Structure 1
Amino acid sequence: MTIRNLAAGTAAVVVLSCSHNAAHAQSHAEQLSEIVVTADRAPEQLNRTGSSISVVSGETITTSNPGSLVDALRTVPGLDISETGGPGSTTNIRMRGGNTGQTLVMIDGIRINDPTAASGDYDFTMFAPSSIDRIEVLKGPQSALYGSDAMTGVINIITKKGSGPAQFNIRTEGGSYGTASTSGSLTGSQGPWSYAFTGSGQHSNGFSRFGYRIPALEAKYPNLERDGFDRIGGSARIGYDVGDVRLEAGILSSFTRSAYDGTYSATSKSPQFPDTPNNATRQLDQVWGKATFDTLGGVLNHQINVFETHIERTFNETTYTTNTLPANTKVVYSQYLANSVGAEYQGTLKLGPLGTLVYGTKTQHETADISQAGIKPASPLTPQLGKAQDTNALFALWQLPIGERLSVTLGGRVDDVVDVARFETWRATAAYNIAETGTKFHASAGTGAKAPTLYQLYSPDNGTRTLVPEESFGYDAGIDQSFLNGRVVMSVTGFSNTFSNLINFVSPSAATPCTGTQSGCYVNVARAETSGLEVGSTIDILPGLLKFNAAYTYLHAIDLSNGAILARRPKNFARFALTITPTDKWMIEPRITTVSKRFSSANQVGQVDAYTRVDLYTEYKIDANWKVFARGENILNEHYQEVLNFGTTGPAAYAGFNATW
């Protein structure tokens, strides 16, 4: 990052006054004393962590779009999110300029990245937000704690668990694009038992993913149709305390069906062709069990986890076999089955004045099966890929408090991907607190790695068995500062990442290992560098009446092989929220999202214009149990794209109620 770029970013920050954690109602003291579990693999106060971590609270999730987990994640600095056309569409999340698939996604500490996906990334469409208690977003290389895929960070989705008297909640919403959603939960505890049950369903008629509200494309392709979306899901989590042992078990399931566009991406087709009825389904099932207990009089804590995750994706895709009318079509059915089963042990040993040692081991078995069948013309379901992969790991992290102000950690991990690769990673952090001035300095550095996916290794069409893990080195440093007894909180974090051995898809040539039958293959050829600034502030302008929050990121991301800006990385993106509370029952919150221009593909091809979108949320508490709410999306009718040629919502309104007993 150049001095000029840093200065530009800092100047923008001063103007924007952005929020570090995007927490609506938390004071600075509450934020610092908040307990997080992802930063060091064990419960830790936020003010003792040297890592850069953001917490998306349950309040933020409930006031966002209830059908979209990623809408809540848009409040986090450093996360760039793009959707290919409305609800139920493919979503890409890039942390600090990294690729999709270089961020590890977990549910309750269990990885859910998809081994059948080319880059191994997780499809956020699969998960219903109704099950979520909060989300912790840990930034920077974290492979030393969590292994492969955690090159740029970790998103840990933490589900609801029960405590206290039984509580039932129901939320219903309806509105534009034929959208309707309902979710409910029952949580509580009784004696040694705790429980949490959730369920939800959502439907939307949607809009055409391709070309919607893009005048040139709507004029050229007059037959665009709506691409709808349906999802149903539920979860259960039960705990039992027996003596000094805590037993927990959980199950989660979600099924999604969505339509998508395929025809019009091939611009050689006649504009008079009708859109094709392409459909996708996605099924996520996860089951886990956990036992936690102490020995040595509480000095040593043990945690044993077992888990299994199953992901199934299917696609019915219709394509035209002619370029002119009358049209001939063929229909192909594709099935992607991924399964992951494993076990993990973690020990936490208290060392007195020498701090705490967190250590453990993990083993995991993954399978990927891909099959294809012809529907028109008919042909049997034929396996395309059927491979398995075993990974074994050892890790350790030393947490050392030095006096009352300084906390440091040093950790490392060894991952052995059987018959593929072995890699070692490390991480170090430091946090220094000055309570008298409300100041916290934090810094971290470490390495990351991502093993080649089963698809990249073994796909008969594109696989390369000689691939090695992608690697990264990154560091960040920053300061959190409060003023006026916590009414103003500022946060500035600078970061830098270098990536090597990046796996790209290339066309066959004499210089590549592609075989004669392959249309292309995956090769370790790319290098990249990203750097930037995440800055924020929460300003309690009029306590109890007016509060300002925002989140701003400056990003510089380049391909080191040619100096070109990486595709789909905006240089500036920000989000603002002004919370107005006229009475203790009524809240109004206008929200602004602004994103600078970026390029759709490499070498600065396909510019996607900058945009600014304005949303509005309001709620009214009728009494202690009932609340009504409404939200408007894109209320100023901004025409914009997140991905080139894919549509986004027009002005839309939604309303509903929330009841709790």
Structure 2
Amino acid sequence: MAASALLLLPQANVALAQTPDFVVTATRTPLAVTQAGSAITVISGEEIAKSSPKSIADVLRHSPGLSVTENGGPGGVSTVRLRGTEASQTLVLIDGVRVNNPSLPAGEFDFSSIVPTDIERIEVLRGPQSAIYGSDAIGGVINIITRHGRGTPRGNVAVEGGSYSGRGLRAAASGSEGGLSYAFSLSSYDTAGFSRYGYRIGRIERLRAWPLEPDATGRIGGSGRIGLELSPDTRFEIGGYGSLNQAQYDAAFEPFPDTASESVHRFGEGFARLINDGLGGALRSTITVSGSTSRRSNRDVDPTSWLRTGFEGDRKAAEYQGDLKLGSAGLLTFGTRFENETFRSQESSVLPFPIAERETNDASRNTRSAYLLHQITLLDNLHLSIGGRIDDASKIDRFATWRATAAYVIPQSGATLRTSIGTGAKAPSLFQLYDPLFGNPLLDPEYSFGVDAGVDQRVFEDRGTLFITAFANRLRNLIDFDFGSPTCKPGAFGCYVNLGRARTSGIEVGADIDVIPSWLRVRAAYTYLIATDATTGLSLPRLPKHLGRIGLTFTPMRDLSIEPSLVFATSRPGTLGFARELPPYARLDVYGDYRINDTFAAFARAENITDAEYQEIPDFGTAGRSFYAGLRATW
């Protein structure tokens, strides 16, 4: 009954909070987790709500196969890498809308640009997924799904404060009536912060003649969506997300690394979607018009110069997706997409001598895509999928990708065997192609080939799941900066070229087990990763061989929960080719929640209780022992 109902839901962004055993990102349609051949992790809205409002990056640490780097605390550039691939090779979606930033050099997504609002769930799909999502999905896909309105109107407000003069606010309202549904949320956070450069790094602080100056951050974001049933067979949705992030930062260049620089980033995305069930319910047609925009302005300041730069990146797209039920022959998903990307940048100087604002980049491109995915179930328990996609981006070679998956369910033992194999591709960014100094219009797309296999096992009388996945990826045509390549423009000291190859492989282990019902729950994620430059044999930077998180949830009484969690990472190279390593670390956090009555609850967080000193990026500090507390009202 649940499966047939889910087939009536819209693609890629449906409300699944009440059906946690289903995902949508794996195949662009609702799918039971046990039928997914690809490795996928779901981070629930409940877990997200318990996290700090200052960063969504910390929430993503709950997923295996994923590493996060944050440039010196909240508001600093935050990037995510899946299975050892680059941040630019991870596709990020918000409610099915592509939000990778065309104005960044490699087209990656900066997670500091979003504030956790009323997020219903995050699905992390690992492995090459370009066959269904196109460019950028080499390492995988992260789909952030905001809340859908349903049922009786509900609302909540939460406020908190704590260390580093941190203050946070969250508010949300959602519900439905008749054929109308709605959900709106707002979130803000600001902090006096600490110096991004050198904070709690002894060898730097000891050499300073004066104290490091703190770098403050202020952020606000909001999301909203409205759904309307136009008829029994047709539904219309509109939604979007917007944020403003103001952050001070340090350039970290000698001889003045601790600078009074500042960045302002405005980000937004939105969509309008029409879903129609035709042919007696056999064909679902979805038409989506979407867009995203990024506006960044930087003021780089040090005693010798004052430079202002601005970066604008926009993406507009229109897409049709059809989902055709073939009865016993399965489900056929097909579609076509048109996308336009633009990138523009300007700079002006005040010191050492004023110059007028000048344009440094103005580029755009169109991409046309078509894809096909067939899913079928054989012998009741064998779930197969195979699909492919062609992407035709202007002025670069057309590229094709494919993917096949299999999942075999063994009902008697509660086990699911999974495997997937496929290719990924990433088109060169507009900056890499067309920057007047360093661009190279002769660049080819990056490519990958990946395979994984694993098993999910239900345990403790179906009260939890253990999983293990082994994976391997081969990447070629990687784009990197090369000094003095003959393909560079005359007079340039270097440019981007296709010269890299890399190999990544490893094992992902996870657990989510209700060990003692209503008293103790265990969640754990661990990744063993080997990531090397295939040309030099050197380990790729900032990727630990061992990375993990283990969290416990104690419920000693009905209205009280206590949740300690430990994040750990072994040593890893700070930069490719440099002998210096970032040391290992372990960070212990504790979250507590006490429900006062049906409306109010008090909560508190203690972060980095042991005051561990560690770095995610060389010479950039991280927060010390921190405490936060707040009050939440729900009605």
Query: How far 1:565 moved relative to its partner?
Result: 0.9
Q: Deviation digits for residues 101-151 of structure 1, max 9, x if unmatched?
A: 000001111100011111100111111111311111111000000000000
Asked whether the equivalents of residues 250 and 257 of structure 2 are also in contact (C-alpha less than 8 Å), the reply is no
Aligned to 1:497: 473
Structure 2 equivalent of residue 383 of structure 1: 359
> Partners of 1:258 and 1:55 in 2: how far apart?
30
Query: What's the CA shift for 1:373?
Result: 1.1
Deviation at 1:486, TM superposition (A): 2.1
1:90 Cα deviation after fit? 0.8
Does residue 1:173 correspond to 2:181, yes or no? no
User: What's 2:417 paired with?
Assistant: 441
Deviation at 1:540, TM superposition (A): 3.0
Unaligned runs of 5+ in 2: 1-16
Residue identity in the other structure for 1:477:
A
The whole-number CA distance in structure 2 between the counterparts of 1:338 and 1:62 is: 30
More relative contact order, 1 or 2 (CA 8 Å, 6+ apart): 1
* 1:336-355 correspondence runs (5 A): 336-355=311-330
Matched, 1:265 2:284: no
Between stretches 285-294 and 465-474, larger displacement belongs to 285-294
Specify the alignment match of 1:6 in structure 2.
Answer: none
> Could you tell me how far apart the structure 2 residues matched to 1:286 and 1:471 are?
28
Contact 1:32 1:45 in 2 (8 A): no
For 1:255, give the aligned amino acid: L
Amino acid at match of 2:218: D
**Counterparts of 2:598 and 2:379, CA distance in 1:** 45
What residue in structure 1 maps to residue 462 of structure 2?
A: 486
Q: Answer with 31-40 or 77-86: which moved more.
A: 31-40
Q: Deviations over 1:599-621 (max 9, x none)?
A: 01112432100001111110001
Q: Please say if 1:650 is aligned against 2:624.
A: yes
State TM-score, norm by structure 1.
0.91
What do residues 543-589 of structure 1 show as CA deviations (whole Å, max 9, x unaligned)?
21112221100000111112111111100001011111101100001
Counterpart residue number, 2:290:
307
Q: Distance in 1 between matches of 2:523 and 2:538?
A: 33
**Counterpart for residue 396 of structure 2:** 420
What's the TM-score once normalised by structure 2's chain length?
0.95
Counterpart residue number, 2:519: 545
How many angstroms apart in 2 are the aligned matches of 1:196 and 1:451?
Answer: 35
In the alignment, what sits opposite 1:143?
130
Residues 1:475 and 2:463 are matched in the alignment: no
Q: Secondary structure at the match of 1:71?
A: helix
The one-letter code sitting in structure 2 at the alignment partner of 1:187 is S
Aligned counterparts of 1:488 and 1:387: Cα–Cα separation in 2: 50
SS at match of 1:217: helix
Distance 1:41 1:539, change over 3 A: closer
Separation of aligned partners in 2, 1:537 and 1:56: 13
Counterpart residue number, 2:7:
none
Structure 1 residue 436: Cα displacement: 1.6
Alignment of 1:233-632 (within 5 A): 233-243=221-231, 244-262=233-251, 264-266=252-254, 269=255, 275-320=258-303, 329-376=304-351, 377-508=353-484, 511-632=485-606
Conserved 8 A contact 1:567-1:604: no
Amino acid at match of 2:561: M
Cα distance in structure 2, aligned partners of 1:375 and 1:161: 48
Distance in 1 (CA, whole Å) between partners of 2:522 and 2:151 is: 33
Q: 1:198 is matched by which residue type in structure 2?
A: S
Distance 1:216 1:648 in 2: 15
After superposition, the C-alpha distances for 1:407-455 in whole angstroms (9 at most, x for unaligned) are 0000000000012120000000000001121110010010000000000
Quote the Cα distance in structure 1 between the aligned partners of 2:118 and 2:435.
Answer: 35
- Corresponding residue SS for 1:395: strand
Give, as a single letter, the amino acid of the residue that structure 1 aligns with 2:487: P
For the Cα contact (< 8 Å) 1:481–1:490, is it kept in 2? yes
| Distance of 1:455 and 1:74 partners within structure 2 | 30
Letter in 1 for 2:629: A
2:317 partner SS:
strand
Answer yes or no: is the 8 Å Cα contact 2:97–2:269 preserved in 1: no
- Are 2:180 and 1:224 equivalent residues in the alignment? no
- Distance in 2 (CA, whole Å) between partners of 1:476 and 1:312 is 38
The equivalent residue for 1:27 is none
CA contact (8 A) 2:414 2:457 kept: yes
- How many residues align structurally? 616
Farther-moved stretch of structure 1 (557-566 vs 203-212): 557-566
Stretches of structure 1 that go unaligned for 5 or more consecutive residues are: 1-29, 321-328
1:46 Cα deviation (Å)? 0.9
2:194 to 207, 215, 221: 207
Q: Deviations over 1:268-325 (max 9, x none)?
A: x2xxx694310001111222100001111000000000012111111000134xxxxx
SS at 1:486's partner residue? coil
Moved over 6 A (4+): 30-33
Match of 1:65 among 52, 73, 89: 52
Distance 1:361 1:488, change over 3 A: closer
CA distance 1:153–1:274, shift in 2 (3 Å): closer
**CA–CA distance in structure 1, aligned partners of residues 634 and 609 of structure 2:** 30
For 2:88, which of 101, 105, 120 is the aligned residue? 101
The separation in 1 between residues aligned to 2:465 and 2:18, in whole angstroms, is 10
Paired-residue identity, %: 42
Checking the alignment, whether the CA contact within 8 Å between 1:150 and 1:449 is kept in structure 2 is yes
CA contact (8 A) 2:460 2:515 kept: no
Letter in 1 for 2:222: G
CA shift digits 1:133-178 (9 cap, x unpaired): 1111111000000000000100011111100111111111110001
Counterpart code for 1:302: S
Equivalent-residue separation in structure 2 for 1:396 and 1:85 (angstroms): 43
Shift of the alpha carbon at 1:66?
1.4
Contact kept in structure 1, 2:153 and 2:175, CA below 8 Å:
yes
| Preserved CA contact (<8 Å) 2:235 2:274 | yes
Distance 2:198 2:260 in 1: 16
- Between the aligned partners of 1:274 and 1:438, the Cα distance in structure 2 is 56
Letter in 1 for 2:135: S
C-alpha separation between the residues in 1 aligned to 2:276 and 2:619?
54
**Does 2:88 align with 1:112?**
no
Using the alignment, how far apart are the partners of 1:601 and 1:104 within structure 2? Answer: 24
When the two chains are superposed, the root-mean-square deviation of aligned CA atoms in Å is: 1.4
Is the partner of 1:145 in helix, strand or coil?
A: helix
Give yes or no for contact 1:565–1:604 (8 Å, CA) kept in 2: no
Q: SS in structure 1 opposite 2:448?
A: strand
Distance of aligned partners of 1:194 and 1:602 in 2 relative to their CA distance in 1, 3 Å threshold: same
For the residue of structure 2 that corresponds to 1:306, the secondary structure is strand
Letter in 1 for 2:228: Y
2: CA distance, partners of 1:199 / 1:537: 32
